[in-house]
Amino acid sequence: MNNEKTPLVVFAAGSLIIPFDHLEKGFEARYPNIDVQAEYHGSIQVIRHATELHKPIDVIATADASLLPMLMYSSIDPETGIPYADWYIRFASNRLAIAYHPQSAYAKDINSDNWYEILSRPDVKVGLADPRFDAVGYRALMTYALAGQKYSCPTIFTDMFYGQFTFPLGIFSDGLITTVTVPEILETRPDSHVLVRGASVELIALLEAGEIDYAFEYESVIRQHGLKMLKIPPELNLGEADYQEYYSQVQVDEDFQRFSSVKPVFRGERIGYGITIPENASHPEEAELFIAYLLSPEGRSIMAGDSHEMFDPVICDQPEQIPSSLSSACQDHNTE
């Protein structure tokens, strides 16, 4: 019987669901005594499951590595008195793109120059992940803020979002940085052409069912589902190393004063996926094996097979804290 297996609880970003499912199968074949129990949510929710719901989680993988210091280094586990995490490995990037369908409205007309105009039309239904819970959500807002600069058309953001929510999104610029503000309660109006869901992967099914015409998604996810993809320019897709400076001109502020002590501010940067082992993991050794497997040639080829290339080498934050079995995979941090 297999009832002696060690459970390994993995909480990961929704955009990793397909590659991590394959990774799980490969890992369990290699280590038959470990049973990976994976759950997928929007990246912020993934972390909240550890820091606020106090679930015992062995591996946390988010689509935004910066969330780990912001929400885990800074919050103290009341049971142990130490932070929930003190290191992470930035292992992959991604690019933002627009997923659609051959039957989507104006599918024949859309291109990488007119997308923002077509998406703003009232008869075009656009899916957006909730920026309060999912990294695609606030990254799409960054793309919109950056688009206003790139196309020298400051109304791109308001053309898309004005009047769509009961409490509006805000946008303002101080000349250096453009800031988007997200209200605490984000609810679309009944006749809105924007559809919001908690996680970006939930939008895929709605796209396939024809409920929405377009959705902001990661390139890897669009490829995995075989959907049509409209690439957006490098200044806007948040995936190019060369545009790090450019991306940092925007930020998204979230207003969560009621429910959380942390008031998240997301600064525009190149997309980076982060993985760590929480300090209260029940099975830290197995968790190390899992991350080592991800970083191994086999893990890399599984990720690449699902259109999600990893960094080579990966980048480590707080390398002195990283478990020794993993540190060999890291180069020094901050040298992307």
Partner 1 sequence: MNRRNLAFNVTFAILGSLIVIFIVLPLISTLLSTTPAAFLQAFKDPQVIRSIGLTFGAGLIATLVASITAIPLAFLLARHNFRGKRLLEAVINLPVVIPHTAAGIALLLVFGRKGILGQWFSPLGLTFTDNLAGIVVAMLFVSVPFLINMSRESFALVDEEYEKVALTDGATPFQAFLSVTLPIAWRGVLGGAVMMWARGISEFGAVVILAYHPKIATVLIFERFNGFGLAAAQPIALILILVSLVVFLLLRILLLPDHKESK
Query: Judged by CB under 8 A, does residue 198 bind partner 1?
Result: yes
- Taking residues 4 to 23 in sequence order and writing x for each that binds partner 1 by CB under 8 A, - otherwise, the string is --------------------
Per CB under 8 A, the list member of 109, 211, 309, 312 interacting with partner 1 is 211
Q: Which stretch binds partner 1 (CB under 8 A): 47-55, 149-157, 309-317, 319-327?
A: 47-55
Sites for partner 1 among residues 247-266 (CB under 8 A): 256, 258-260
Confirm if 41 and 227 have CB atoms less than 8 A apart.
Answer: no
Of the two residues 131 and 272, which places its CB atom closer to partner 1 in the complex? Answer: 131
Among 29, 53, 176, 241, binds partner 1 (CB under 8 A): 53
- Please state the closest distance from residue 247 (CB atom) to partner 1, in A: 26
Alpha helices of the chain — where are they, by DSSP H? 17-30, 43-51, 67, 115-119, 135-150, 156-161, 202-208, 219-224, 244-247, 284-295, 297-305, 324-327
- Binding mask 110-149 toward partner 1 (x if CB under 8 A, else -) reads ---------------x----x-xx----------------
Tell which one of 9, 12, 16, 44 touches partner 1 (CB under 8 A). 44
Measured CA to CA, the distance from residue 286 to residue 220 in angstroms comes to 27
Token look-up 């948040």 returns: 238
Q: How far apart are CA 247 and CA 143, in angstroms?
A: 9
d(CA 334, CA 322): 15
Among the listed ranges 14-22, 59-67, 206-214, 316-324, the one in contact with partner 1 (CB under 8 A) is 206-214
Q: Based on CB atoms, which residue is closest to partner 1, 211 or 312? A: 211
The reply on whether position 197 binds partner 1 by CB under 8 A is: yes
Q: Which stretch binds partner 1 (CB under 8 A): 109-117, 196-204, 214-222, 279-287?
A: 196-204
Q: Which helix (H) or strand (E) holds 314?
A: strand 310-317
**Contact between 316 and 272 (Cβ < 8 Å):** no
d(CA 282, CA 137): 31
CB atoms within 10 A of CB 241: 9
DSSP characters over 119-172:
HTSTTS-EEEE-TTT-HHHHHHHHHHHHHHHHTT-TTHHHHHHTTSBSS--EEE
How many CB atoms within 10 Å of residue 210? 11
187 binds partner 1 (CB under 8 A): yes
Binds partner 1 by CB under 8 A, chosen from 3, 209, 241, 335:
209
Contact residues for 207 (Cβ-Cβ < 8 A; gap 6+): 99, 100, 101, 127, 213, 214, 215, 227
At its nearest, how many Å lie between partner 1 and the CB of residue 188? Answer: 5
Q: Is 241 in the site for partner 1 (CB under 8 A)?
A: no
102 binds partner 1 (CB under 8 A): no
Instruction: Give Dmax over CA atoms of the chain in angstroms.
Output: 65
Binding site for partner 1 (CB under 8 A): 41, 44-45, 48, 52-53, 103, 125, 130, 132-133, 185, 187-188, 190, 192, 195-198, 206, 209-211, 256, 258-260
